Amino acid sequence: MNDIVFKDLSEIQKAAKQFVSQMNAKKHFAFYGEMGAGKTTFIKEICKQLQVLDVVTSPTFAIINEYFTENKMRIYHFDFYRINDIEEVYNLGYEDYFYSDDYCFIEWPELVEDLLPEHMVKVSIKVNADESRTISFG
């Protein structure tokens, strides 16, 4: 298990850079953490590190956003917080994304846990007592 700790937003760029350097060939990540833990903010910074050309926003209402990098890599950013029924995820054609060779970053994966493939890397963002964050993955 890998851990990255950052004390505030001024260190998030460094944390994301470290995370990206440890992604290796893995492309599918499920981000766990309580509301306000910083999942979206961290994913935005990861996208910056991957040189996304688009404006990265939370897909809370859209459920999925698609971004492209300078190298023409595709990134899918999911937020399942507002799904009401697992049928919505089936209707998205989740298999096309979860089993693709494109990057997938998933927020609120616990709501679709049964659909996550075994190769999905679980990333936990924990808010510590001093308001720092610990990111655990691997």
Residue spans per domain, the chain: 2-137
Helix (H) or strand (E) holding 4: strand 2-6
For the cut 90, the answer to whether the pLDDT of residue 95 exceeds it is: yes
pLDDT, the chain, mean: 95
pLDDT digits (tens, 9 = 90+) for 47-73: 999 999 988 988 888 899 999 999 999
**Beta 64-68 vs 121-127: how paired, if at all?**
unpaired
Radius of gyration of the chain (CA): 14
Packing angle, helices 12-21 and 39-49, rounded to 10: 60
* SS3 call for 21: helix
Asked if 109 contacts 88 with a C-beta cutoff of 8 angstroms, the reply is no
Amino acid of residue 57: T
**pLDDT for the residue 133:** 96
Using 50, 70 and 90 to split pLDDT, how confident is the model at 79?
very high
Sign of CA dihedral 109, 137, 35, 106: negative
Asked if 27 contacts 104 with a C-beta cutoff of 8 angstroms, the reply is yes
CATH topology classification for 2-137: Rossmann fold (3.40.50)
